[in-house]
């Protein structure tokens, strides 16, 4: 007879054997006792938490000779054959292998027949999420109103893939991940019955590694028991799980703190030569970083985490929360699906070097504070330009900006041409930009399509009642469109609304740069282009503000 | 062939020897580890041991009729499943067929062993289909899944199996195999072992492709790359690697992958030199001094950028991008990063 693995041998046989699903067990027990068993159940939850086992126990409970009872006897013929999976009235179907509509039709046909020896005919469909859409739909009517002797039990790890129409016809039970303590207790009971010895620390590591799946932990334990002859130690567990020694992880963090890339590379080399995978290293670093992050934001109060005390004590203060975030980000970016060991190795080395070389990050709020401080100071300077030779201001601004502030005061007249031009235009109390925006806004309210075309233009001048708007060279289409009488009317109305003295709006297309000057040849065109950039530069709010703030003037514009 | 000839996987070997002695052989195992480190070979040896009739305690006899038939793949109770030719995945139909086979009792022995190669290439339907069988197969069945990466195996499958991790072969082991089985001379074998990163399959592939010469050629070129124009260099790379000679896309892809790896190793070495770790394993060990000298004109950031470029190119290679364009693009980008830096230096001085 072959060996049967722990997970199969220790499959729960009664409701009380089930680990960590107390509410579900209680509900089902009560339902059986009070004779209120539904005709369709849906068991959902992660792997290895007891869905299939519960389904089997439930069918035993319903069909047991002494039943229906919440404590099936497990000795009668029916109970035994259900446990073996060979009962004729309890059909356990692999939903992933029999997923088509034909298989479901088959069930539908047989549903009508009465059970051959037990009370109910029970269909357990495991991995039910793999049924095809057609198969689900074929099942709907039967599922809603099956004959009284039929029960359905569905089990799945991906309940979200079941159509809602199926979910709404079933009583749904969500199985939870099993707690570390729960797994630990169960495993130590197994060890006792198997007559094997195991270190408590090792047991704990196994329980944690299972991430809530009891079967995972049983598989690991099985492997350990199969090759450890006497006592199972933590080192054995680390080998089976592919875990990396604590010291190495600590050493890695030490290198991060000391900014020692070659030390960290050495550790990487060591780990890889032991046959551990780079991804495992990254996973464990991530876990540790997460611990530190939780520690740095919640302190010791975070009771839901088991801190590794010496580790947290040693590195808890070494990194700021933002640095930790950054490290986590870098590492998770390295976690890729690539299977190639060379690539993984190099990627890991890269990230380790990066982490060793990283600057410690200031927290964001700190930076914001500093910026706010700077802004305050700037405002002070701007509000009291007269005071700018004052000592306290000079002290408050750092040396590089000091020079800029100390530049010689400039007379109004010194301002060079472009700025003067602007002043002239705005002499009429018309600020080009304001007016333009106002016009655009008016047009936008009236007709969106006109606005879309019009906004490509540029306000050139507004003299003696004629407002000139220029379009770039390749926008002649816009001009044509806007020159149509009805469009033109809208524009003129809007312009008049904004600037009362305007009588006419003239649209031009610039051929070679500036409007109306296209006949003057290449050179003037270039000039015009230059002018245009100047205008853009001077109308830029940042430039304006700078000039205003420092009372400066423009000497040269680099293109 | 027998357990005695398994080299470099001592831990795995002792694990199974103990397991067999304790009679605790489980019904499902996952063999995980990178390519070319002997997972498949080990699986076969394990099958031999389980089936062997000689009654030897911890090894197969290699002379009985069953052992011989296993070597020639002619044994009825040992079944292999792998992706069909020219397919990248294992499909549902194959798994259904497997189940049929599995539920037929063994013909000649007490067991029936199924080895699923590239089990990480099962598509979703296929792997779900395996779940129930994997959890409670017939008592005589043993299922071995061979995967290169555990990442792509679903949780539901992992939870049902015992996971056995195979480690990469050490340089010493690869060298030993190369010298003993392929009659390479010591020096050559060592160099190949270095760049094989622990995979015997890669080592032999590199040997066939004359990779060492090409590696040196590439190193020489990359060291003086600033004097070259990107397209000329790409062309030279095409010619040196005979890229147009491959008709089958998969082969071409593999070949180009190795080329990209050479690039990757080169810049990785430079990064290591740059960070001062000169006593580490360098893939381009012979070029150490020139690498150190050259690394002075690179900033770390540039090297990171270049490595990222190569990594992205490797990813695109798997996405079926046009290979010629990919190479040209990668070389151009690398040169861009390098020359940008030069402007930067000039601007400073």
Q: Which residue of A has its CA nearest to B141?
A: A2
Return residues 497-516 of A near B (CB < 8 Å): none
Regarding whether B153 and B181 lie in a shared domain, the answer is no
pLDDT in the model for residue B277: 65
Which pLDDT score, from 0 to 100, does residue A385 have? 63
Q: Residues of A numbered 336-375 whose beta carbons fall under 8 angstroms of chain B's beta carbons: which are they?
A: 337-343, 345-347, 349-350, 353-354, 357
Inside any domain, residue A525: yes
Closest chain B residue to the Cα of A337, Cα to Cα: B151
pLDDT of residue A519: 39
Residue A537 pLDDT exceeds 70: yes
Per-residue pLDDT for A339 more than 70? Answer: no
Q: Is residue B118 located within the same domain as residue B237?
A: no
In a domain? residue B204:
no
Which range among A203-212, A332-341, A408-417, B210-219 shows the weakest confidence by mean pLDDT? A408-417
Instruction: Please check whether residue B15 touches A, CB under 8 A.
Output: yes
User: Tokens for A411?
Assistant: 């007379």
Residue A275 and residue B166: Cβ atoms within 8 Å? yes
SS (H, E, C) chain B: CCHHHCCCCHHHHHHHHHHHHCCCCCCEEEEECCCCCCHHHHHHHHHHHHHCCCCCCCCCCCCCHHHHHHHCCCCCCEEEECCCCCCCCECHHHHHHHHHHHCCCCCCCCCEEEEECCHHHECHHHHHHHHHHHHCCCCCEEEEEEECCHHHCCHHHHCCCEEEECCCCCHHHHHHHHHHHHCCCHHHHHHHHHHCCCCHHHHHHHHHCCHHHHHHHHHHHHHCHHHCCHHHHHHHHHHHHCHHHCCCHHHHHHHHHHHHHHHHHHHHHHHHHHCCCCCCCCCCHHHHHHHHHHHCCCCHHHHHHHHHHHHHHHHHHHCCCCHHHHHHHHHHHHHHHHHHHHHHHHHHC
B192 shares a domain with B136: no
Query: Nearest-CA residue of chain B relative to A125?
Result: B132
**Same domain as A538, residue A469:** yes
pLDDT reported for residue A361: 63
Average the pLDDT over A263-279 and give the result: 85
**Which residues span the domain enclosing B175?**
170-199
Check whether residue B24 and residue B41 sit in a common domain: yes
Burial of A541 (0-12, 13-18, 19+ CB in 10 A): exposed
What pLDDT score does A53 carry?
Answer: 92
pLDDT band at residue A45 using 50, 70 and 90 as cut-offs: very high
Q: CB under 8 Å to B155, separation ≥6 — which residues?
A: A46, A47, A213
Domain that holds residue A184: 180-241
Asked, for residue A1, whether it belongs to a domain, the answer is no
Do B160 and B192 belong together in one domain?
no
Query: Are both A17 and A160 inside the same structural domain?
Result: yes
B181 lies in the same domain as B287 = no
Tell me if A3 and B96 make a contact (CB, 8 A cut-off): no
pLDDT tier at A521, thresholds 50, 70, 90: very low
Task: Give the residue-averaged pLDDT of A199-227.
Answer: 89
Residues 45 through 104 of chain B touching chain A, CB cutoff 8 Å: 95-96, 99
Q: Would an 8 Å CB–CB cutoff place B165 in contact with chain A?
A: yes
CB contact under 8 A, B156 and A157: yes
The owner of tokens 């080329």 is B259
pLDDT bin (cut points 50, 70, 90) of residue A386 is low
Q: Which long-range contacts (CB under 8 A, 24 or more apart) does B176-181 make?
A: B176/B7, B177/B7, B177/B203, B178/B203, B178/B204, B178/B207
Backbone phi and psi for residue B269, each to the nearest 5 degrees, phi listed first: -60, -40
- A322 in the same domain as A292: yes
Average pLDDT over residues A494-509: 79
In a domain, A557, yes or no: no
**pLDDT at position B3, please?**
76
* CATH code, domain with B72: 3.40.50.300
B34 CB within 8 Å of a chain A CB: yes
**pLDDT, tens only, A454-471:** 888 887 777 777 888 888
The tens-digit pLDDT sequence of chain B (349 residues) is 577 778 788 888 888 888 888 888 889 999 988 888 888 989 988 888 888 887 777 777 777 888 888 888 888 889 998 888 877 788 888 888 999 988 899 888 888 999 999 888 888 888 898 998 898 888 899 999 999 888 888 889 999 999 998 888 888 888 888 888 888 888 888 888 888 878 888 888 888 877 788 888 888 888 877 666 778 888 888 888 877 777 777 788 888 888 898 889 889 888 888 887 667 778 887 788 888 888 888 888 888 889 989 988 988 888 888 888 898 889 888 888 877 655 444 333 3
Interface test with B, best of A196, A236, A343 (most B CBs within 10 A): A343
Q: How close does chain A come to B30, measured CA to CA in Å?
A: 11
CA distance A377 to A397: 8
Q: Are residues A13 and A124 in the same domain?
A: yes
Prediction ipTM score? 0.83
Sheet of strand A504-509: strand arrangement = A458-463, A466-471, A504-509
Residue A410 banded pLDDT, cuts 50, 70, 90:
very low
- Predicted TM-score (pTM) above 0.90: no
Does A47 contact B155 at a Cβ distance shorter than 8 Å? yes
Residue pair A111/A142 in contact by the 8 Å Cβ criterion: yes
Average pLDDT across chain A, whole number: 81
Question: What pLDDT score was predicted for residue A423?
Answer: 43
What span, in angstroms and rounded, lies between the C-alpha atoms of A297 and B243?
Answer: 55
A213 at the B interface (CB within 8 A)? Answer: yes
Is B319 near chain A, with CB under 8 Å? no
pLDDT for residue A416 is more than 60: no
Both ends of chain B: CA-CA distance in Å? 67
Q: Specify if B13 maps to a domain.
A: yes
Q: Per DSSP, what are the bridge partners of residue A470? A: A458, A508
Q: Is residue B259 part of a domain?
A: yes
- Nearest-by-Cβ selection for A130 from B125, B151, B315: B125
pLDDT of residue A157: 92
- State whether A79 and A144 are in the same domain: yes
Q: How many structural domains does chain A have?
A: 5
Same-domain check for residues A256 and A379: no
Q: Is residue A58 part of a domain?
A: yes
Q: Which residue of B has its CA nearest to A83?
A: B136
The predicted pLDDT at position A195 comes to: 85
Query: In 10 A of CB B224, how many CB atoms?
Result: 10
Pair of tokens at residue A232 = 């199972």
Q: How far is A313 from chain B (nearest CA, A)?
A: 30
Question: Is some CB atom of chain A closer than 8 A to the CB atom of B301?
Answer: no
Q: Do A468 and A507 reside in the same domain of the chain?
A: yes
CB A67 within 8 A of CB A75: no
What's the pLDDT at A338? 63
Q: Do residues A170 and A184 share a domain?
A: no
| Residues of chain A contacting B151 with CB distance shorter than 8 Å | 279, 337, 339
Q: Which residues of A touch B156 (CB under 8 A)?
A: 47, 157
Q: Are residues A28 and A170 in the same domain?
A: yes
Inter-chain contacts counted by CB atoms under 8 A, chains A and B: 170
Residue contact A4–B22, C-beta within 8 A? no
Average pLDDT, stretch A217-229? 88
Q: Has residue A171 got a pLDDT over 90?
A: yes
Sequence-ordered list of residues with C-beta below 8 angstroms from that of B164, at least 6 positions apart, any chain: A223, B12, B15, B29, B30, B31, B32
Task: Look at residue B93 and tell me if it is in a domain.
Answer: yes
Q: Is residue A327 part of a domain?
A: yes
C-alpha to C-alpha distances, A512 to A458, A471, A473, B55, nearest whole angstrom: 15, 11, 7, 97
Q: B268–A346: do the CB atoms touch at under 8 Å?
A: yes
Whether residue A341 sits in one domain with residue A252: yes
Q: Are residues B285 and B227 in the same domain?
A: yes
Identify whether B292 is part of a domain.
yes
Residue A36: CATH number of its domain: 3.40.50.300
B151 touches A at CB < 8 Å: yes
Claim to verify: residue B186 and residue B262 sit in the same structural domain: no
Range 211-270 of B in CB contact (< 8 A) with A = 261, 264-265, 268
Q: pLDDT band for A362, please (50, 70, 90 cuts).
A: low
The whole-number pLDDT of residue A502 equals: 74
Q: How many CA atoms lie within 13 A of B326 on its CB side?
A: 21
Residue B310 and residue B263 in contact, taking contact as beta carbons nearer than 8 Å: yes
pLDDT of A403 over the 60 cut: no
Is residue B275 domain-resident?
A: yes
| B109 plus B214 within the same structural domain | no
CATH assignment of the domain containing A292: 1.20.272.10
Q: Are strands B162-165 and A40-44 parallel, antiparallel or unpaired?
A: unpaired
- If asked whether residues A88 and A11 sit together in one domain, one would say yes
- Angstrom distance (rounded) from CA A263 to CA B225: 31
User: Does the pLDDT at position A436 exceed 60?
Assistant: yes
Q: Which chain A residues are within 8 Å of B99, Cβ to Cβ?
A: 97
- Indicate whether A555 belongs to any domain: no
Q: What is the CATH number of the domain that holds A188?
A: 1.10.8.60
* A284 and A300, same domain (yes or no): yes
* Same domain, residue pair B155 and B179: no
Domain boundary among A241, A268, A292: A241
Nearest-Cα distance to chain A for B58, in Å, is 13
Give yes or no: residues B217 and B123 share one domain: no
Instruction: Count the neighbouring beta carbons within 10 Å of the beta carbon of residue B237.
Output: 21
Total count of residues recorded for chain A: 559
B285 and B234, same structural domain? yes
**Residue A558 located in a structural domain:** no
Whether B110 and chain A come into contact, CB under 8 Å, resolves to yes
Q: Could A97 and B152 be called an inter-chain contact, meaning their C-beta atoms sit closer than 8 Å?
A: no
**Å between B228 CA and nearest CA of chain A:** 27
**What's the CA gap between B273 and B294, in Å, rounded?**
10
Domain-ending residue, one of A143, A159, A174: A174
Q: Express each pLDDT in A56-103 by its tens digit.
A: 999 999 998 887 888 888 888 888 888 888 888 999 998 888 888 999
Among A47, A94, A340, the residue with its CB nearest the CB of B156 is A47
Q: Report if residue B155 sits inside a domain.
A: yes
CB A459 within 8 A of CB A432: yes
pLDDT at A407: 43
Number of domains composing chain B: 3
């Amino acid at each position: 007879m072959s060996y049967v693995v722990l997970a199969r041998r220790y499959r729960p046989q009664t409701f009380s054997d089930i680990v960590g699903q107390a509410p579900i067990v209680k509900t089902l027990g009560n339902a059986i006792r009070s004779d209120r068993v539904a005709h369709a159940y849906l068991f959902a939850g992660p792997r290895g938490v007891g869905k299939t086992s519960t389904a089997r126990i439930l069918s035993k409970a319903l069909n047991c000779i002494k039943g229906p009872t919440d404590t099936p006897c497990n000795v009668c013929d029916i109970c035994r054959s259900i446990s073996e999976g060979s009962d004729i009235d309890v059909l356990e179907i692999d939903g992933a292998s029999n997923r088509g509509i034909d298989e479901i039709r088959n069930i539908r046909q047989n549903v009508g027949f009465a059970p051959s020896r037990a009370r109910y005919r029970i269909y357990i469909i495991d991995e039910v999420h793999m049924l095809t859409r057609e198969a689900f739909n074929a099942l709907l009517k039967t599922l809603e109103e099956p004959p009284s002797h039929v029960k359905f039990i569905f089990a799945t790890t991906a309940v979200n893939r079941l159509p809602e129409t199926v979910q709404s016809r079933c009583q749904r039970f969500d199985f939870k991940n099993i707690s570390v303590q729960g797994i630990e207790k169960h495993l130590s009971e197994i060890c006792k019955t198997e007559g094997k010895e195991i270190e408590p620390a090792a047991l704990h590591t196994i329980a944690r590694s299972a991430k809530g799946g009891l079967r995972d932990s049983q598989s690991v334990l099985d492997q350990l028991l199969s090759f450890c002859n006497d006592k199972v130690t933590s080192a054995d567990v680390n080998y089976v799980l592919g875990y990396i020694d604590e010291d190495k992880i600590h050493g890695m963090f030490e290198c991060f703190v000391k900014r020692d890339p070659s030390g960290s590379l050495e550790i990487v080399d060591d780990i890889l030569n032991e046959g551990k995978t780079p991804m495992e290293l990254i996973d464990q670093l991530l876990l540790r970083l997460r611990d530190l992050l939780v520690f740095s934001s919640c302190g010791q109060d975070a009771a839901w985490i088991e801190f590794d005390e010496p580790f947290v004590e040693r590195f808890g203060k070494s990194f700021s929360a933002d640095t930790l975030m950054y490290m986590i980000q870098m590492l998770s970016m390295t976690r890729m699906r690539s299977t190639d060991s060379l690539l993984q190795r190099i990627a890991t080395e890269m990230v380790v070097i990066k982490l060793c070389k990283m600057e410690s990050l200031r927290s964001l709020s700190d930076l914001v504070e500093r910026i706010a401080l700077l802004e305050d100071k700037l405002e002070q300077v701007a509000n009291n330009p007269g005071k700018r030779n004052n000592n306290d201001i000079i002290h408050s601004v750092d040396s590089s900006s000091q020079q800029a502030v100390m530049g010689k005061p400039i007379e109004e007249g010194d301002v060079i041409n472009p700025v003067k031009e602007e002043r002239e235009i705005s002499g009429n109390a018309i600020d080009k930009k304001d007016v333009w925006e106002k016009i655009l806004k008016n047009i936008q309210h009236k007709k969106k399509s006109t606005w879309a075309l019009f906004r490509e233009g540029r306000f050139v001048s507004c003299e003696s009642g004629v407002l000139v708007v220029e379009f770039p060279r390749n926008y002649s289409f816009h001009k044509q469109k806007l020159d149509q009488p009805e469009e033109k009317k809208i524009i003129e109305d809007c312009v008049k609304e904004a600037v009362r003295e305007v009588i006419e709006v003239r649209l031009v297309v610039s051929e070679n740069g500036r409007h109306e000057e296209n006949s003057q040849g290449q050179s003037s065109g270039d000039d015009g282009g230059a002018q245009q950039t100047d205008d853009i530069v001077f109308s830029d709010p940042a430039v304006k503000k700078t000039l205003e703030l420092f009372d400066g003037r423009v000497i040269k514009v680099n293109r | 062939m027998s357990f005695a000839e398994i080299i470099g996987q001592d831990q795995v070997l002792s694990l199974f020897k103990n397991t067999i002695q304790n009679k605790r052989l489980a019904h499902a195992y996952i063999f995980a580890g990178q390519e070319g480190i002997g997972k498949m070979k080990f699986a076969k040896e394990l099958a031999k041991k389980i089936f062997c009739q000689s009654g030897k305690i911890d090894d197969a006899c290699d002379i009985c009729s069953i052992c011989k038939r296993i070597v020639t793949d002619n044994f009825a109770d040992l079944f292999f499943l792998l992706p069909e030719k020219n397919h990248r995945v294992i499909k549902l139909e194959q798994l259904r067929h497997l189940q049929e086979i599995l539920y037929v009792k063994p013909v000649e022995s007490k067991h029936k062993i199924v080895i699923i190669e590239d089990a990480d290439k099962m598509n979703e339907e296929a792997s779900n289909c395996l779940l129930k069988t994997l959890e409670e197969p017939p008592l005589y069945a043993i299922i071995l899944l061979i995967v290169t990466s555990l990442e792509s195996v679903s949780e539901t499958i992992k939870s049902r199996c015992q996971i056995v991790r195979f480690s990469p072969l050490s340089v010493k082991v690869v060298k030993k195999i190369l010298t003993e089985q392929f009659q390479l001379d010591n020096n050559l074998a060592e160099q190949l072992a270095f760049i094989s990163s622990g995979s015997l399959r890669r080592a032999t592939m590199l040997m066939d492709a004359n990779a060492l010469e090409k590696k040196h050629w590439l190193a020489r070129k990359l060291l003086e790359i600033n004097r070259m124009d990107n397209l000329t260099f790409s062309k030279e790379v095409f010619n040196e690697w005979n890229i147009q000679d491959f008709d089958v896309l998969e082969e071409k892809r593999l070949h180009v992958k190795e080329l990209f790896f050479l690039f990757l190793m080169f810049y990785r070495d430079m990064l290591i030199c740059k960070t001062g770790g000169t006593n580490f394993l360098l893939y381009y060990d012979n070029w150490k001094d020139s690498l150190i000298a050259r690394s002075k004109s690179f900033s770390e950031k540039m090297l990171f950028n270049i490595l990222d470029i190569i990594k992205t190119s490797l990813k695109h290679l798997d996405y079926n991008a046009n290979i010629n364009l990919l190479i040209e693009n990668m070389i151009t980008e690398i040169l861009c990063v390098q020359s940008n830096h030069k402007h930067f230096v000039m601007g400073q001085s």
